[in-house]
């Protein structure tokens, strides 16, 4: 079975999740998120859950939000909008060009919260992008 088939099976499981009543999340938080197996240069998830850490950028409802994927890649690619942020005392790269709308069902585990200063840098970078 190729990765797309595995991702489709995982996506069916995620779609069947019913978020718990006490499942809360806030902007600036970093969570593991099943972002999937994607196409071309879209950022993929890793491991069997197709997960990647993401920063919750904007919450629209209990079910939808904009997230920004993170990567541990040290080298920032100049052609994309990326910023270094500190998560759990290590530096990660926030790939703003890969921001996407997701369902809260894709979130799996809380990791940390981004500092107010780093979050403001992300907001500024995003406003310059659009």
Q: Domains of the chain: which residue ranges?
A: 3-129
Does the global pTM surpass 0.95? no
pLDDT category of residue 79 using cuts at 50, 70 and 90:
very low
pLDDT of residue 31: 96
Q: What is the 3-state secondary structure (H, E, C) of 7-49?
A: HHHHHHHHHCCCCCCCCCCCCCEEEEEECCCCCCCCCCCECCC
Q: What is the pLDDT averaged over residues 18-37? A: 84
* Tokens 């859950």 found at: 49
Task: From residue 56, give the alpha-carbon distance in Å to each of 5, 17, 47, 66, 114.
Answer: 27, 19, 21, 6, 9
Q: For 32-47, write each residue's pLDDT tens digit.
A: 999 988 777 777 788 8
| Fold type of domain 3-129 | SH3 type barrels. (2.30.30)
pLDDT category of residue 69 using cuts at 50, 70 and 90:
very high
Contacts of 100 (CB under 8 A, 6+ apart): 35, 66, 67, 69
Listing DSSP states for 52-96 in one string gives: EEEEEEEE-SSSEEEEEEEE---SPPTTS-EEEEEETTEEEEEEG
What percent of the chain clears pLDDT 90, i.e. is strictly above it? Answer: 41
pLDDT category of residue 120 using cuts at 50, 70 and 90:
very high
- How many other C-beta atoms are found inside a 10 Å radius of the C-beta of residue 41? 9
Q: For 89-117, write each residue's pLDDT tens digit.
A: 888 889 888 899 999 999 999 999 999 99
**Does 77 score more than 70 pLDDT?**
no
């Amino acid at each position: 079975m190729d990765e797309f088939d595995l991702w489709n099976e995982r996506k069916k499981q995620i779609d069947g999740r019913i978020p718990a009543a006490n499942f809360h999340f806030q902007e600036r938080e970093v969570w593991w998120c099943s972002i999937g197996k994607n196409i071309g240069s879209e950022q993929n998830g890793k491991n069997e859950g197709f997960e990647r850490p993401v920063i919750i950028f904007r919450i629209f409802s209990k079910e939808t939000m904009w997230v920004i994927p993170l990567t541990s890649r040290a080298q920032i690619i100049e052609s994309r909008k990326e910023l270094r942020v500190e998560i759990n005392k290590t530096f990660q790269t926030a790939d703003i060009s890969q921001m996407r709308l997701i369902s809260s069902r894709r979130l799996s585990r809380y990791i940390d919260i981004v500092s107010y200063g780093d979050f403001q840098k992300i907001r500024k970078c995003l406003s310059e992008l659009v």
